[in-house]
Copies of this chain bind each other. A is one copy, B any other.
Amino acid sequence: MSITTADDVRLTAALQYASDQKDQAIDSLKSFVRIPSISTEKSARPEMERAAAWVGGRLQQLGAQNVRTFQTEGAPIVYGELLKASPEKPTVLVYGHYDVQPVEPLGLWESLPFEPEVRGEHLFGRGASDMKGQILAVLTALDALAQTGGLPVNFKFMIEGEEEIGSPNLDKFIIEHKELLASDFALNPDAGMIGRDYPTITYGLRGLAYFEIQITGPDHDLHSGLFGGVVHNPAQVLCELIAGMHDASGRVTLPGFYDRVRQLEEAERDELRRLPVDEIYYRRQTGCSRFFGEEGYSLVERASARPTLEVNGLYSGFTGEGSKTVLPAKAMAKISCRLVPDQDPFEVREQLSQYLHDHTPPTVRSELTMHSAGYPSITNLDHFAVQAMQRALEATWGVRPLVRREGGSIPVVASMQKYLGIESVLTGFSLPEDNLHAPNEKLHLPTFERGVQALVRFFTYL
């Protein structure tokens, strides 16, 4: 169109403002990354408070009202609201998390995880991409809009500190604050994109059921020379139990595991085939030359639309340098399942419990603990906010965004559907090569800047 409207002028001004402020945005992000808010570490509690206070402070700088830090049994949840647009305008509930993954093995980091450093086009640091950088993108877009034509819609914020440990206290908070949180939809920028040239909206998320299995045999560590051959070795039993959890075709053997799995429709499989994610992509991301998985499904399907069972950790006996001839008293595994609609994490717990009951030999004892549970979810692609995001991404990148299902888990999406009755728009500007959950996490700064521009457009288009 050749006609320039007042809206266009405001949008152009906001985009320019955001562009001009990019150095300040990165400085602000650095100060956020410097807070080591690792939610798995109970001793990091004061850091969680600091990170929550940082978020609350930034919301207040933006002019947010009713900014509150809600204490939970774990890390606090930050709430705030910017209800300055007309009441007829929609209210967006911005979701985010200020907690980050653990950093070990520390020796593999090229710069310290909590001393953010720009090298080339990247900002390195734990949380730079997942997801302190994503929160900053939203705050920067809002600041640009506020400083130019004003905020076009209304906002509420719910920024939690326990996403990386499965959000154990979030559901309770949502249930107890339904009215406070009432909104038209949620924006969740924690879902990332497929590649720097592929803006992406995620419409399906896998759920998570995270377990710890402990096998106990003798009542203390034994000398493997004196008792080897007689005492059933808990580490061997654990390995045998884990080995039995997949069959030869790569399928999970827990009883009933696939009963509730929604089969992929042919039309959806066609869509997924269009994603630019082939074996070469996976080779580049992982360093693997050959892949594995459930027979009958493509790599993309296995990684996003099919359920899995993975070993996340193993520990038993002597793991130091050299040799120690111990027959360990105990062996531990961390095991998690990614779930797809309509699996239920608590049913999976029962299935794993049944499997252990059926297969643990009488020579040892097994103990099962569930560390976190999140339901899988599917978002409606026809929702007005999803449509606005598609337009905003296309206007920014110049290509039609991809829609995909995601292999990771964002349980809050299912919780918001369930308790607040709202859909989530899932996007984000983290890249697969950002080393999320690994050493040398990094944020691609040009993509971050484009993300800010896309968010400015998105809020304007609503």
- Residue numbers of A with Cβ under 8 A of B are 40-42, 101-102, 104, 108, 164-166, 206, 208, 210, 217-233, 235-236, 238-240, 242-246, 282, 285-288, 290-294, 299, 302-303, 306-308, 310-328, 331-334, 336, 338, 361-363, 371-372, 406-409, 432, 435-439
With A310-B327, A338-B225 known as contacts, the answer to whether A232 contacts B316 (CB < 8 A) is no
CB-defined contacts of A322 to chain B, threshold 8 Å: 40, 165, 371
CB-defined contacts of A299 to chain B, threshold 8 Å: 230
Q: 21 A–B contact pairs at CB < 8 A?
A: A40-B323, A102-B324, A206-B225, A210-B325, A218-B287, A223-B408, A228-B310, A228-B336, A229-B294, A229-B407, A230-B286, A236-B243, A236-B245, A238-B314, A239-B240, A291-B363, A313-B316, A313-B324, A313-B328, A314-B331, A326-B437
With A217-B288, A285-B227, A439-B221 known as contacts, the answer to whether A314 contacts B324 (CB < 8 A) is no
Asked if A338 and B228 make an inter-chain contact with CB atoms under 8 angstroms apart, the answer reads yes
What is the CB-to-nearest-CB distance from A343 to chain B, in angstroms, rounded to a whole number?
14
Alpha-carbon distance between A406 and B371 when the two chains are bound, in angstroms: 44
CB-defined contacts of A362 to chain B, threshold 8 Å: 290
What is the CB-to-nearest-CB distance from A230 to chain B, in angstroms, rounded to a whole number?
5
Name the residue on B nearest A164 (C-beta).
B324
What is the CB-to-nearest-CB distance from A118 to chain B, in angstroms, rounded to a whole number?
21
CB-defined contacts of A244 to chain B, threshold 8 Å: 243
CB-defined contacts of A363 to chain B, threshold 8 Å: 288, 290-292
Alpha-carbon distance between A320 and B40 when the two chains are bound, in angstroms: 8
CB-defined contacts of A438 to chain B, threshold 8 Å: 220-223, 326
What is the CB-to-nearest-CB distance from A317 to chain B, in angstroms, rounded to a whole number?
4
